[in-house]
Amino acid sequence: MNNYTFKKFENQGPTKDNRISINKSGEITFPSIFCYENKIFRYEYATLFWDQEKKAVGISFTNKKEGHGNYKVTRLSRGGGARISSNAFLKSSGIDLSIDSGRFSWKKYNDPKLGLLFVFELREK
């Protein structure tokens, strides 16, 4: 007979995974740790940018709704992070959700014209 030494899992705090995700329903999601560390909850909208050559997504956050191209930042009710419904952007950029969905490491990038962007590359999961 096998003997096991189980230990109870008691961690119920926020996830320590700080990667941005694209889920299969076309949402870009941000974990709570990302939102708190980068003060994302103070913004209402996100503007998305696409670099076809590098397969990179750039995201800037703003409180200005400037016509088309801004997506509403929705805070998750579970006290978690936030999300944006980005289907139109993903489809127009040629991003295949069956291949490119997943979690991605990100970095801050100061673009001379666009300002501060949070950037992740699709091939870097």
What integer pLDDT is reported at residue 123 of this predicted model?
78
Sheet holding 107-111, edge to edge: 70-72, 45-51, 56-62, 115-121, 107-111
Q: Which two three-digit tokens encode residue 4?
A: 């096991």
7-11, 49-53, 55-59, 91-95: lowest mean pLDDT where? 7-11
Give the contacts of 31 (CB within 8 A, at least 6 positions apart).
Answer: 14, 15, 17, 18, 19, 20, 21, 80, 81
* Residue 38 pLDDT: 96
Q: Which of 40, 112, 100 is nearest to 76 (CA)?
A: 40
State pLDDT tens for residues 56-101: 999 999 998 877 779 999 998 766 899 999 999 999 999 999 999 9
Give yes or no for residue 11 having a pLDDT over 80.
Answer: no
Which residue's entry shows tokens 């962007």? 117
Q: What percentage of the chain reaches a pLDDT higher than 90?
A: 74
Q: Which single residue is written with the structure tokens 């189980």?
A: 6
pTM for the whole structure: 0.83
pLDDT of residue 66: 76
- How far does Cα 35 stand from its chain's mean position? 10
Mean pLDDT for 98-108 is 95
**Which residues fall within 8 angstroms of residue 78, CB to CB, at 6 or more apart?**
none
